[in-house]
Chain A
Amino acid sequence: MRPYELSLAAAAEAIRARRLSPVELVDSVLDRIEQVEPQLGAYVTVTAEQARRAAREAEREAALGRDRGPLHGVPAGLKDLIDVAGLPTTASSRVRADHRARADSTVAARLTAAGAVLVGKTHTHEFAYGLTTPQTGNAWDRGRVAGGSSGGSAVAVASGTATFALGTDTGGSIRVPAALNGVVGLKPTYGLVPRHGVTSLSWSLDHVGPITRTVEDAAIVLNALAGHDPRDPASLATPAVDHRPGADTDLTGLRVGVPRTYYFDHVDAQVEAAVRRAIGQLEALGARLVEVDIPMTRYIQATLWGLVAPEASAYHEAGLRTVPELYQADVRVLLEAGELMTAGDYLRAQRSRTLMRSEWGRMLAEVDVIAAPTVPITAVRAGEETVSWPDGTAESVSDALVRLSAPANITGVPALSVPVGHDTAGLPIGMQLLGRPLGERTLLRVGHAYEQTQPARALAPAAAH
């Protein structure tokens, strides 16, 4: 196995045991970038020289016996909404052509302190306001959408051009591309990972989290990211927790909620079958399946849009008045139309959010996790705009992609997407595990236990299409 193919945990173990040097690992990933990046377009910027320098430094430290932990010398990609001092944060937008971050975001600083090596900034749907990331091709079929908005991060991890990456998630933007590219994505509890220095789409709903090849890797990255920072007003002051799952895969006594409503409505038959098979695996590991009814489903889309649209337009108020022509057409019209929403619309969404959080709290008192599809479809062809369902209804691709991920943003509960197979076209399918607020350890334990029942996953073919 070549170094770029290693999971984070395997790379960390090899580095710690001095079987692999950070320089070898970073060089391997940079070579892989040279090989497949021209076909995939996952990166806005590749910081090869800085990465090689940081890898040499990590190697020197390791030789001196200084071990910064499991991220020591491990190459990472950061979604280009995340500030890294001295680099532009382009948000994949012409609006940010002259931008340069003066300081590190909290998450970038924490990764650096933990020894991670930045290999580049990854593409986002412009300013995270969309679900496809059109600059980037899907890692399994580059003629299909990467998903979004953290499409570059998911494709980089899936194709071996980053050992792990960070994304942001406002309506599903970590989990959607993770599912569509066959990698793991974790949207932590709202407030667990500080957002200071991360470009906002919607302050009420924005989250930062890891995209990785395995559930264990997501836990390792979360350990480095979590923790209070007063510069993010939503940041939670919670005790430090080791999120890494143990070796035990016994789920006896765990109650897994299986939605009777919403999460399996208008879902592709192959996606549903793969997710139900995975839920069956959880049962085989000892979990007890409990049917649950998802509350207030009629108001999920309305609540999401009632929050996102006014907040995004507020964030872009200045840009929309000075350089509107620099935004892409799809984003510009949403920002403009968002200006026409009323305070009443916004407050109803905020009040609906309060009700929804309370109803979800009641539901989550009855189960330990909920298992459901992450997205109702596999990756569509680039340019496709509509999904048709067997009952004759149709839905925009964006509405379909965000439909099953939005509840965790509104309620703030943690949600993990785990690959659970492929459809007959070879496209990945993701299962979503949702938990109680600050229930990441449980989610990661369940996701890891499921992964142990499956053969190790190979990287995406990337350049094969």
Chain B
Amino acid sequence: MPSADLTPPEAARWAARAGLPLPADRHTAVAATANHLHSVVALLRELDFGDTPPAGAYRAGEEQHDATV
């Protein structure tokens, strides 16, 4: 297991910190998927972004949006 990987108890603690208490029977599966996602997205750390801004869509002065679904 790579050293950056989360153990099941660590995944549970991270989830709790994100406001998502996980029942004990979820810890192993969530840790495995979180570690997989991490291994996929960690590649982006190789890129030299320089001054590149994120591709956000925010523009001041747009219409108000209805918050209800």
Residue of B20, B46, B57 ringed by the most chain A CB atoms within 10 A: B20
Which B residue sits closest to A303, measured CB to CB?
B44
Distance in angstroms from B57 CB to nearest chain A CB is 5
Docked-complex contact B30 and A340, CB < 8 angstroms: yes
Does B55 touch A at the CB level, under 8 Å? Answer: yes
> How far is A12 from B6 in the complex, measured between Cα atoms in Å?
58
Docked-complex contact B47 and A348, CB < 8 angstroms: yes
Docked-complex contact B43 and A302, CB < 8 angstroms: yes
Chain B residues numbered 18-64 whose CB sits less than 8 Å from any CB in chain A? 18-20, 22, 26, 29-30, 33-34, 36-38, 40-47, 49, 52-57, 62-63
Which A residue sits closest to B43, measured CB to CB?
A302
Residue numbers in A under 8 Å from B34 (CB-CB) = 337, 340-341
Assuming the contacts A302-B40, A354-B52, A355-B47, asked whether A333 and B29 have C-beta atoms less than 8 A apart, the reply is: yes
Docked-complex contact B41 and A339, CB < 8 angstroms: no
Which A residue sits closest to B63, measured CB to CB?
A230
Docked-complex contact B20 and A321, CB < 8 angstroms: yes
Assuming the contacts A321-B20, A339-B18, A340-B18, asked whether A299 and B43 have C-beta atoms less than 8 A apart, the reply is: yes
What bracket does the count of chain B residues touching chain A fall in? 35 or more
Residue numbers in A under 8 Å from B6 (CB-CB) = 340
Residue numbers in A under 8 Å from B52 (CB-CB) = 351, 354-355
Which A residue sits closest to B62, measured CB to CB?
A233
A interface residues, how many (CB within 8 angstroms): 34
Docked-complex contact A336 and B30, CB < 8 angstroms: yes
Residue numbers in A under 8 Å from B22 (CB-CB) = 336
> How far is A305 from B33 in the complex, measured between Cα atoms in Å?
12
Docked-complex contact A337 and B40, CB < 8 angstroms: no
Does A301 touch B at the CB level, under 8 Å? Answer: yes
Assuming the contacts A233-B57, A306-B41, A357-B55, asked whether A337 and B30 have C-beta atoms less than 8 A apart, the reply is: yes
Docked-complex contact A337 and B19, CB < 8 angstroms: no
Which B residue sits closest to A347, measured CB to CB?
B54
Docked-complex contact A301 and B55, CB < 8 angstroms: no
Chain A 434-453 interface 0/1 with B at a Cβ cutoff of 8 Å (1 = within): 00000000000000000000
Docked-complex contact B20 and A351, CB < 8 angstroms: no
**Other A-B pairs, 6, CB within 8 Å; known A333-B29, A353-B54:** A298-B43, A336-B20, A337-B11, A345-B44, A348-B45, A350-B54
